[in-house]
Structure 1
Amino acid sequence: MNNIYQFKANNYRNEEVNFNQYKGHVLLIVNTASECGFTPQYKGLQNLYDQYKAKGFEVLAFPCNQFKQQEKGDNQEIKQFCDLHFNISFPLFAKIEVNGVNTHPLYNFLKEEAPGILGSKSIKWNFTKFLVNKEGKVVKRFAPTTKPENIASSIEAIL
């Protein structure tokens, strides 16, 4: 278990996505929410995706309702919200949990590979971001307050 390619997750259509398809890509994995103060970061995430997609970069968005119930909708409602307000074109996954007993296995892995401040493993809030290199290794964790545009240099360094 030293890379993300062993994982699978359902997209917003509830179709299984095997992470093997992302081999050789740089990934930014983000837990998202539609009613959060950081929700406008969707625009910055889309800008990063537009800027680097042709070079093998992907943004993977995982909606989560664990932080003050800021993602109440079902998967289709979340997709409609993202399309209407941010016109996202990067992959949107089904709503998951990122903490607790029902944590998605991908997030257990991400938290283990890139702990937060003072070694904390739990996700503290929406829009925590994990940068994954072309070999599927987690290289950095970014706080929710880190704006997507401030991650560009880290992405460029590993593309």
Structure 2
Amino acid sequence: MSKLIDKHNKLNMENRPFSDNSLKPTEDTIKKNLYSSYKFYNELDNITFKFKKDWNFAKSSGWMLKVHDGKKALYYLIPLNNSFIISLTLREQEKSEFLSNDNLIELHEQLKNAKKYSEGFALKFLISDSKSYTPLVTLIKKLIEKRK
């Protein structure tokens, strides 16, 4: 099961290599800091090649990558040391459909427990290995398909 980040498992700024506003991430610094999880970052980048990608800085999280279609964010990515966080929101209908999808069974518990905000149901995932990445990439592919 992929790791869900919640209020009891927050990562502090020491684990965030891009917390300096003046040092925007580059491909080289991302590759160096993500280390073994870079391959997952790179695969997500390839899967979302049709989406716009913008780096934004926030004091609370450091630099984060917004992957969007010009209107709605598909997900936000926060690079860490040897891992990264993916944050996304699902609409009510998407959540319902994904809960009935057996290909996403590993995520059903997280989907059921997702907190509702005005933007949708919020999910956060810590990606550090294949076990945490595989269910997430399945979800993102389904989400891209759904939002065409």
Q: TM-score range by the shorter chain?
A: 0.3 to 0.5
Which structure's relative contact order is higher, taking Cα pairs within 8 Å and 6+ residues apart?
A: 1
Relative to its length, the structure with more strand (as a share) is 2
> TM-score by structure 1 length?
0.31
Relative to its length, the structure with more helix (as a share) is 2
